Structure 1
Amino acid sequence: MTLSSRKLLVFLTLFTLFHFKNHPFLLVLAINVSFDFPSLTIRNLTLLGDSYLRSGVVGLTRDVTVPSSSAGSIIYNNPVQFYDPESNITASFSTRFSFSVINVNPTSYGDGLTFFLSRDNQTLGSYGEYLGLVNSSQPTKNKFIAVEFDTKLDAYFNDPSDQHIGLDINTLKSIKTANPISSGIDLKSGNLITAWIDYKNDLRVLKVFMSYASSKPKEPVLAVNIDLSQYLREALYVGFSGSTEGSTELHLIENWTFETFGFIPARRKSHRPHNVSDSSVITPVIPISSSGDKPHKRLGLGLGIAGPAFFCAFLVVFGYVSVKKWKKIKTFKSFKAEIVTGPREFSYKELSAATRGFHSSRIVGRGAFGNVYKAMISQGTFAAVKRSKHLHEGQTEFLAELTIIAGLRHKNLIQLLGWCAEKGELLLVYEFMPYGSLDNVLYQDTEQGTLLSWPVRQNIAVGLASALSYLHQECEQQVIHRDIKTSNVMLDVNFNARLGDFGLARLMDHDKSPVSTLTAGTMGYLAPEYLHCGKATEKTDVFSYGVVILELACGRRPFERETQGQKLTNLVDWVWELYGEGNIIDAADKRLNGEFEVEDMRKLLLVGLSCTNPDSMARPTMRRVLQILNGEAEPLFVPQKKPSLTFSFGLPALEDIVSDSD
């Protein structure tokens, strides 16, 4: 602990004692909030997803000239309190903002934007009809109040027309909607539109006004009689979200004012008990005593006892913190000495600047290692930065990933650009993958524009097989990845597969037997023998690859609950059952609408089954898989019935395992 830190600690201690001595009955009440942003700045706002700030204007979706799918949101940094439990008052609120919806291609429209109140400051949903407000896989998870300005008709959410406004509470199925065209407002005109949203808690009514001018109209476009007090019982964040799907539509916010009103000004709380009403206050009679100095003596005695005790406690805490920091510095120095030479060493200052101080708006992924940030390391050049603050917990994974990837070179592996180990943090710098992971793209809930085509899926299968063949057979030391899954397969700008996340990988000589380790990986991708004895081999990687291949072909996750009931369906078992019935093509992803070569689909499904054979000895090598997919070898024989495999002792029930896993 530095000298300045010690001074700060002493100051805070003295300040706390003085504060509570002089203000023991200070009452903190909810206060009215007001802010006015003639132009928007990053100082007061958090940007998430694809949103960006340019010349005081926030764009919620990507500024592109070709159709894309995008979602973004901006959130006021500080939560707003709408309810005061002390006075049992719910605040009213009013907001005004100017926005425009611009489109370089008028035929490529959708989807719109929202003004929302939400419980958390990480509100970012899916693109498309979800308006960047709710997640497509968990549409009821986010709790919010929102006014939507929708520019696309979506029958699933009961939209009345291709442009409308509506009040939404915890779902995008609006409570009430209105068509702004009837008020002379065209959302898609590209003109600057000013909107006012007023909620009067005493009148239990929410109104939305819209105009091309800066003056507020007399009549609202939408009026909803509703009591929002039950939804305003906690502090909420306020902001905007927007989304597109296969569109060039832009959603811009140019200015914003917001205020709450109706709270009673804060006042000093009286000394009377809470349960005494104003009408029954009794003024206490204070007897005059000749021993008026007794309270002072008692105070002096208390301080005489508490003072030394507090000082001793302070010394203990100071000693503990100092020793802990000394050990941390020593460990960190020895750790940096272990790092191999090769990739560039970045400074912490460089990476902090490249990620805008590791701002939450730059987060593009999260994992066991830590958050992943989008970074601009040079003009126009982006990278992905994996960051962990847990030095001791992350050191093993950090060294594993750095040591392994630094020596690997393959077009289907993510390239490591550099690393950093400063300020008690571990950071890895990779090339940036614009489409994110295969998991994100494959399972997007979409009806147009972003579905992975059959040729792209075949290319991903071949690319991943090529990367694993390289790791297993072509490296000087064989690399067992141990965590192959769709979320660790990234897609580059051309949708080529790039295998990443080597935090669980292990190096071994080709002529050595596998090293027995604790079971690690992700449930659904783990081979049965790996679950049984925790021994990772190239055949356990083959099994995981097989599951990914079946996901690609079927568009289904390794485990899915049936529509009716809670029973889990195992993807491997489901495909094998169809294969036994002679209907394996029925396993193909229905979203492809039959747009694939039947024999190629059959080949890929059979490769997936052969790789997931419970008998590890019956699985092909990744080199053989690559040859089969490239038409250089015949597919392996796959039995009509899935082989059974028994162990000397039982494993926990599959549903029990899955229910306890992520």
Structure 2
Amino acid sequence: MINRHSPDDRRPPQLSKKMPPLELHLSLPLLTIFALLALSASSDFTFPSFTSLSLRNFTFLGDSYLRNGLIVLTRVAFVPSSSSGSAIFAAPLSFFDPDSNTTASFSTHFTFSIKSPSSNSYGDGLTFFLSPDSQTLGSPGGFLGLVNSSCLTKNRFVAIEFDTRQDPHFHDPDNDHVGLDIDSLESIKTADPSLSGIDLKSGNSITAWIDYKNDQRCLLVFLSYTDQKPRKPLLSINIDLSPYLKEPVHPGFSASMERSTELHLIESWSFEAFGFLPVRPKTQPHNVSDSSVIGRPSILVSGSRSKHHKRLVLGLGITGPAFFCAVLVALGYVALRKRRKIKNVKSFKAEIMTGPREFSYKELKNATRGFHSSRILGHGAFGTVYKAYFARSGSVAAVKRSKHSHEGKTEFMAELTIIACLRHKNLIHLQGWCIEKDELLLVYDYMPNGSLDKVLYSELPDEWTLLNWTRRKNIAVGLASVLRYLHQECEQQVIHRDIKTSNVMLDGDFNPRLGDFGLARLMDHDKSPVSTLTAGTMGYLAPEYLQYGKVTEKTDVFSYGIVILEVACGRRPIERDPSNQKMVVHLVDWVWGLHSKGNIIETADKRLNGEFEVEEMRRLLLVGLCCANPDSSMRPSMRRVLHILVNEADLPVIPRVKPGVNFSDSLPLALEDLVSKCEEGEEDEDEDEDEDEDEEELRSPCGVLCKIRVD
């Protein structure tokens, strides 16, 4: 907690006339600096730990948040990920006195730790900085959350970096080093922490002392595993920082990682400024007050004043009643709109179940840092998903924000009313919802391992081992279980209509969680199929659905079959032919082709290195082909699929040659009405910009000409 004055108190602090005995021992220079910094904040504060009361003193940007008394600067990631965050002291501190032309000295010490769940995956490190900008947030990776990769000279700062990865771009000497950075990540001077017996990546608590003595123009950095300050500094630099401390600055911390699993924690922090000379009293060259200047009064002519008065009375007589009527009409209109809005909200609330709670818009806005771009996890069919941190409870959630407040209400209502009453271990749990300020928001459990497609198609070898055979088989069984629940065990049958790897999320144990019910439809059991506008993702759409737009449980079964083949083969539904980039290959056709030759096991993902049960892999691949059969009548129910996967039922006979389907020449829907979201996955949560993708024309299995994106 702050020892003297909270930075939120905008009134100048008053020094008590009756000072406690301890404060009588304060030196005159220290009392002087408190007086000089009274308008901004106390320059002397200590945080033995960080509690919820500390929140008012900090600005958290990016992925940083408060948890269990610690400041966490980067996200908790058990798979390689990119992340950056900063925690900044909210009130500015003044180090320069223009009257005496003196810059204060400062001393700070803090305890930090850098941890990684993987011995082979380290991030980029953390920094302590002073910056005039209270919104300092840089890019992940070697930019240490301090510098923006697109504008290296934008942020101004004086920083001590505790770097854990060598970046040749910034001329880093080695992996572990401590350095002084000023407005650039090319360090002015560095030192090897191993000289003090310190391993920055040990995961142990490390205490750092940073002392700047303005009179000696010297900066010292000390490191220790204990709370005893070493006698010899690790880093000593002769430098004058006064040119960089002329304006008030915010002290803070930043950290980053890129495609790694490093975690950066601040455990405690103390800061002190000192060394101002006594302030010289200001002298006034002339004893003239501001009020001594007399202005010349204006002269009014009586005739013009009388005419002006008559015109004013006449104008008020005409415009007054008109203005009054206009105000009444405006107030009535506002009241009517407010009444309708309240009525709509009440009607909206009545349509959902009582399970999920209602969040306030302010609560969700604060939890997502004003829906900041650094909190984006991905983009769904009907909105953007943000990471939300709720300081009061210390919990993390995912907030889905609808793209269109009016057009998206139908989809929003569908997702809310459907998922609110569903209960299954393989569904993403809905925590709550919000409809305020013409915004539609859903709050879900946060999935730390992201979506299935991100892990399945990662280019990092370290991530390939995360989806071993046991986990892949568990994903197939979990998805089959939840689809059986939706199709056959709910009071009303639920057709998801958008099953794909990017809508399958993975929890901390890599269990699958099906989400994104924006396209889902409720149907009564044993009712006729419903024709609807075709929507979904190309590559996952059943042929009869593309042709007729008819929604049945078999359309979900087809999409499930495609996902299962992806899990087993590690390939996307539609890919370029490696030997001919102008050609594309359908996953189903490729697997079926090798099945017809008796070589279906050759389709197994090579990244598994053969570490799987051959018969189990064969069964999974054949289940995928059975579900992705172009003839919907030949597809099994999800209940039978689940029984097959757990060896409680035999596989049906899979024909050696892929069956064909004949359709009528005349389409029941116009071609322009056949809408498909031609995407291959959600946007990466850690990328600032989407990668450009080529578009090619391709005929779907049913002959409908579509445009798709192909990697």
Deviation at 1:599, TM superposition (A): 3.0
Whole-Å separation in 1 of the counterparts to 2:653 and 2:412: 38
Deviation at 1:455, TM superposition (A): 0.3
Deviation at 1:473, TM superposition (A): 2.6
Q: Select which of 403, 410, 416 maps to 2:417.
A: 403
Deviation per CA, 1:497-541: give whole Å up to 9, x if none. 222332321111222222111222233322233333332221221
- Do structure 1's residue 180 and structure 2's residue 195 form an aligned pair? no
Q: In the alignment, which residue of structure 2 is the partner of 1:46?
A: 60
Deviation per CA, 1:469-506: give whole Å up to 9, x if none. 22223333321111212232233343222223323211
Deviation per CA, 1:72-116: give whole Å up to 9, x if none. 5126699x9xxxxxxxxxxxxxx9997765257999472232569
Q: Select which of 120, 125, 128 maps to 1:113.
A: 125
Deviation per CA, 1:267-317: give whole Å up to 9, x if none. xxxxxxxxxxxxxxxxxxxxxxxxxxxxxx9xxx9xx9xx99999999998
SS of match in other structure, 2:192: helix
Q: Select which of 475, 478, 503 maps to 2:490.
A: 475
Taking a change above 3 Å as real, the CA distance of residues 372 and 182 of structure 1, as seen in their structure-2 partners, is closer
Taking a change above 3 Å as real, the CA distance of residues 332 and 102 of structure 1, as seen in their structure-2 partners, is closer
Q: In the alignment, which residue of structure 1 is the partner of 2:550?
A: 535
Do 1:463 and 1:496's aligned partners in 2 also have CA atoms closer than 8 Å?
yes
Q: In the alignment, which residue of structure 2 is the partner of 1:331?
A: 344
Q: In the alignment, which residue of structure 2 is the partner of 1:621?
A: 637
Deviation per CA, 1:350-370: give whole Å up to 9, x if none. x86588555458957454255
Do 1:242 and 1:251's aligned partners in 2 also have CA atoms closer than 8 Å?
no
Whole-Å separation in 1 of the counterparts to 2:576 and 2:189: 38
Output the amino acid matched with 2:550. K
Question: 1:133-282, aligned counterparts within 5 Å?
Answer: 149-152=162-165, 161-164=174-177, 180-181=191-192, 184=195, 186=198, 188=200, 190-193=205-208, 212=223, 219=237, 240-243=254-257, 245=260, 250=265, 254=269
Output the amino acid matched with 1:112. D
Gapped regions of structure 2 (runs ≥ 5): 1-39, 93-105, 213-218, 224-228, 240-251, 273-306, 679-694, 698-705
Output the amino acid matched with 1:637. I
Do 1:196 and 1:216's aligned partners in 2 also have CA atoms closer than 8 Å?
no
Whole-Å separation in 2 of the counterparts to 1:141 and 1:526: 43
Q: In the alignment, which residue of structure 2 is the partner of 1:511?
A: 526
Whole-Å separation in 2 of the counterparts to 1:62 and 1:617: 47
Percent of aligned pairs with the same amino acid: 47
Question: 1:489-568, aligned counterparts within 5 Å?
Answer: 489-560=504-575, 567=582
Deviation at 1:635, TM superposition (A): 4.8
Q: In the alignment, which residue of structure 2 is the partner of 1:655?
A: 696
Output the amino acid matched with 2:125. L
Output the amino acid matched with 1:73. G
Whole-Å separation in 1 of the counterparts to 2:659 and 2:152: 41
Q: Select which of 472, 475, 487 maps to 2:502.
A: 487
TM-score (norm 2): 0.58
Deviation at 1:433, TM superposition (A): 4.0
Do 1:99 and 1:254's aligned partners in 2 also have CA atoms closer than 8 Å?
yes
Gapped regions of structure 1 (runs ≥ 5): 1-32, 81-94, 169-173, 198-207, 222-237, 258-296
- Do structure 1's residue 601 and structure 2's residue 617 form an aligned pair? yes
Q: In the alignment, which residue of structure 1 is the partner of 2:426?
A: 412
Do 2:64 and 2:87's aligned partners in 1 also have CA atoms closer than 8 Å?
no
SS of match in other structure, 2:541: coil
Q: In the alignment, which residue of structure 2 is the partner of 1:102?
A: 113
SS of match in other structure, 1:344: coil
Do 2:496 and 2:521's aligned partners in 1 also have CA atoms closer than 8 Å?
yes
SS of match in other structure, 2:531: coil
Deviation at 1:660, TM superposition (A): 7.7
- Do structure 1's residue 59 and structure 2's residue 72 form an aligned pair? yes
- Do structure 1's residue 633 and structure 2's residue 644 form an aligned pair? no
Whole-Å separation in 2 of the counterparts to 1:121 and 1:570: 47
Question: 1:306-345, aligned counterparts within 5 Å?
Answer: 324-340=337-353, 343-344=354-355
**Structure 1, 650-659 or 592-601: larger mean CA deviation:** 650-659
Whole-Å separation in 1 of the counterparts to 2:619 and 2:449: 27
Output the amino acid matched with 2:345. F
Whole-Å separation in 2 of the counterparts to 1:577 and 1:563: 18
Taking a change above 3 Å as real, the CA distance of residues 584 and 143 of structure 1, as seen in their structure-2 partners, is farther
Whole-Å separation in 1 of the counterparts to 2:492 and 2:192: 67
Output the amino acid matched with 2:256. G
Output the amino acid matched with 1:465. A
Whole-Å separation in 2 of the counterparts to 1:313 and 1:506: 47
Taking a change above 3 Å as real, the CA distance of residues 398 and 162 of structure 1, as seen in their structure-2 partners, is same
Do 2:572 and 2:587's aligned partners in 1 also have CA atoms closer than 8 Å?
no
Do 1:530 and 1:536's aligned partners in 2 also have CA atoms closer than 8 Å?
yes
TM-score (norm 1): 0.62
Taking a change above 3 Å as real, the CA distance of residues 158 and 623 of structure 1, as seen in their structure-2 partners, is farther
Whole-Å separation in 2 of the counterparts to 1:433 and 1:218: 45
Taking a change above 3 Å as real, the CA distance of residues 405 and 75 of structure 1, as seen in their structure-2 partners, is same
Whole-Å separation in 1 of the counterparts to 2:589 and 2:525: 35
Do 2:86 and 2:145's aligned partners in 1 also have CA atoms closer than 8 Å?
no
Taking a change above 3 Å as real, the CA distance of residues 194 and 660 of structure 1, as seen in their structure-2 partners, is farther
Output the amino acid matched with 1:600. E
Deviation at 1:616, TM superposition (A): 2.9
Whole-Å separation in 1 of the counterparts to 2:632 and 2:153: 46
Q: In the alignment, which residue of structure 1 is the partner of 2:477?
A: 462
SS of match in other structure, 2:71: strand
Whole-Å separation in 2 of the counterparts to 1:251 and 1:568: 52
Deviation per CA, 1:455-480: give whole Å up to 9, x if none. 01101111101111222233333211
Output the amino acid matched with 2:124. G
Deviation at 1:124, TM superposition (A): 8.7
Deviation at 1:630, TM superposition (A): 1.8
SS of match in other structure, 2:462: coil
Deviation per CA, 1:298-352: give whole Å up to 9, x if none. xxx9xx9xx9999999999877766544443332233333334xx3363545x86
Q: Select which of 591, 598, 612 maps to 1:576.
A: 591
Q: In the alignment, which residue of structure 1 is the partner of 2:22?
A: none
Q: Select which of 434, 451, 454 maps to 1:437.
A: 451
Do 1:110 and 1:151's aligned partners in 2 also have CA atoms closer than 8 Å?
yes
Do 1:523 and 1:661's aligned partners in 2 also have CA atoms closer than 8 Å?
no
Whole-Å separation in 2 of the counterparts to 1:120 and 1:661: 42
Output the amino acid matched with 2:415. E
Taking a change above 3 Å as real, the CA distance of residues 417 and 506 of structure 1, as seen in their structure-2 partners, is same
